[in-house]
Amino acid sequence: MDFLQNHVESIVFCATEPVKAEEIRLVMSEMFEAEVQIEDIEAALDSLLVKYEADEFSFQVFKIAGGYQFLTKPAYQTSLGIFLKQKSKKRLSTSALEVMAIIAYKQPITKGQIEDIRGVNCDYAVQKLLEKELIEIKGKSDGVGRPLLYGTSKKFMEYFGLNSLTELPNPKDFSTLENTIGTELDPNFNDFAQFGLMEGEGVQAQTSDGMEVETQEEIFPSHHQEEQTDSEGENSGEENNIDQEKNGQQEEGEQ
């Protein structure tokens, strides 16, 4: 009976959810290649219930949801709660985040390809991501040595709130645009940016504060006005010289 009880104990211990007596009986029947009675399985389970009630054990077998499962005793709830709370606060390192981002955008991808992108070894980061179930093995590559292929897991999608990988941010969304006119700290930046004012252009518009702008020179006083004044002066000087020559010719004709 102890031999059978040890097998039953190992099954309950490895089960991640309550396992029923009938499920254990089918396993034992296949292993022994003989019919095992359900009464014998239930007797072994009852013995385990009594055995782990002793204070020397911090866990015991509980009969829940129609099955049996190993769980820690309520007396150790406080220490376990603190342990799980501290564990949940642990964040991924920068290197692990970089590896996870590469896998997310390049999957399926081998560890060698990840290292080619980062330029450093990534064994530790990949192992940590596997332990946290954020990535998983998708298969094997057809390349030399058939290395493992990695991709994101269902837990990764749940953690980041994604329905599909198409919802990942586009890399071009991270690029920043440069302002060609002024800066956002400039109080007139919005006016200049809206009308695309460049030195040398003439526009007619109205700014946000209601000021009418007829020409570029009204906003950017520059050497254009000086050049215009100089050219007008030169033209008037030439006209005076022509008038003087005409007057001189008329005087010579009268003489």
Q: pLDDT (tens digit, 9 = 90+) per residue, 90-146? A: 778 889 999 999 999 999 999 999 999 999 999 999 999 998 899 999 999 998 889
Q: Which of 144, 149, 79, 89 is nearest to 114 (CA)?
A: 149
Q: Is 191 helix (H, G, I), strand (E, B) or coil?
A: helix
Contact yes or no for 52/60 (Cβ under 8 A): yes
Q: Does the pLDDT at position 185 exceed 70? A: no
Do you find a cis peptide bond into 108, omega within 30 degrees of 0?
yes
**CA distances (Å), origin 152, targets 126, 127, 172:** 11, 13, 21
pLDDT of residue 73: 94
Mean pLDDT within 229-243: 52
Mean pLDDT of the 68-81 span: 93
Say yes or no to pLDDT of 191 above 60.
no
Of 205 and 190, which is predicted with more confidence? 190
**What would the CATH number be for the domain defined by 94-172?**
1.10.10.10
Would you kindly state where each structural domain of the chain is located, as residue ranges?
2-75, 94-172, 178-224
Among 2.40.128.20, 3.40.50.300, 1.10.10.10, 1.20.58.1610, name the CATH number for the domain at 2-75.
1.10.10.10
The yes-or-no answer to whether 2-75 and 94-172 have a common fold is yes
